[in-house]
Homo-oligomer: A and B are copies of this chain.
């Protein structure tokens, strides 16, 4: 009476993310995900409680894809690297990425990334009372920029122009940090 397990939660989330990247998040449906896994839609409900849960899982996977930098490099460099890593995720998953701006950073992968940034800011010398606020601001600015870029809000501007925009974002953030540390 035991059957081989054909799917699991991770396989479902991986297939969902692939599908969204291929056809856009609008077309991310339970049925299309099931098709990718050669299974009926109803089989998914053993591993995700509903579609909202599936989307949460996909978002969590996105956060997990943020490549955190080597802790041995200088903290300011690490901070810059986190920003670029987030941008890279946005470019890999342009239609899913905007969801990141819509949920609080309370899931494990979100907390991990946030805690890392908080540790870096502390190490750099931002006063403890200001660190949390500083992190909120930086993440908001970076996520907003990356989401805009991914969703094509910058319109017809070339990659070069957008990269230069991002340099300015970085300098604004550096400025913010050095203002707070002095």
Contacts and interface: CB of A to CB of B under 8 A. Distances in A.
Interface residues of A, number: 31
Assembly stoichiometry (copies): 2
Given A101-B147, A153-B102, A172 B168 contact: no
A104 B157 CA distance: 11
Interface of A: 98, 101-106, 133, 136-137, 140-141, 143-145, 147-148, 151-155, 161, 164-165, 168-169, 172, 175-176, 179
Given A98-B102, A141-B144, A168-B176, 9 more contacts: A101-B148, A102-B153, A104-B154, A104-B155, A105-B155, A133-B161, A144-B147, A144-B148, A175-B175
Nearest to A154: B136
Contacts of A179: 175
14 contacts: A101-B144, A101-B147, A101-B148, A102-B147, A103-B153, A104-B152, A106-B155, A133-B164, A137-B172, A140-B141, A140-B144, A144-B148, A172-B172, A175-B175
Contact of A148 (B140, B154, B165, B175): B140
A55 to B, nearest CB: 11
A118 to B, nearest CB: 15
B168 A133 contact: yes
A165 B101 contact: no
